[in-house]
Amino acid sequence: MESCRIGWRRLATGVYGLNGVLETSGADLTRMHEIHVLGASFGVQAAVSAMGESGGAIVNVASIAAYVVRARSGAYSASKAAVEHLTEFQAVELGPRRIRVNVVAPGMIDTYMLSSLTGEPAMLRSAMEPVPLRRIGTPGKVSDAVLFLLSDAARFVTGHTLVVDGGGPRR
């Protein structure tokens, strides 16, 4: 994992940083936007190019952070909200080409990003309290949602956000 300024961590799905409103620099905001929003935009462009005329399905990755407002996560949350909104535009524009575009919004998933909670039992219990299923998800649960959105079972679903979070609160 690559460490960056102010606690940034490079992750398989992007970057995350805990920066307060007054500490977040233009470079921090730009990095978050470049990785999440531009990544989703250019990724879709590449996928469409590879699909040709046959159509298909694309799934972007956002986060429940797009809905949940927590101190020191504004840059990350705003970039994930932008990915969700961008997906809606991509779905509208690519629908006539028989291309469906959806987005998954994972909640607390057992990944490196969540390691600060999983190492602290009291913090983990506190975080799970408002989640009806009372557990964190696994990467496999997210991939199941992605596979559903890519499958024929979702052939009439586009521009949709599938939240994968065990039923947690959104606000």
Task: For each of the domains in the chain, give its residue range(s) and CATH number, in order of start.
Answer: 5-164 (3.40.50.720)
- Is the full-model pTM beyond 0.85? yes
Least confident of 58-72, 82-96, 119-133: 119-133
Residue 128's pLDDT band, with cuts at 50, 70 and 90, is confident
Active site residue 76: yes
Sign of CA dihedral 158, 165, 153, 56: positive
Active-site pick, 16, 67, 76, 112: 76
Q: What whole-number percentage of the chain has pLDDT above 90?
A: 64
pLDDT at position 159? 98
The angle, 0 to 180 degrees and rounded to 10, between the axes of the packed helices 74-94 and 39-51 is: 20
> Residue 42 has what pLDDT?
96
| pLDDT cut 70: percent of the chain above it | 89
Average pLDDT in the 51-55 region?
Answer: 90
Per-chain mean pLDDT for the chain: 87
Q: Which residue has the higher pLDDT, 141 or 136?
A: 141
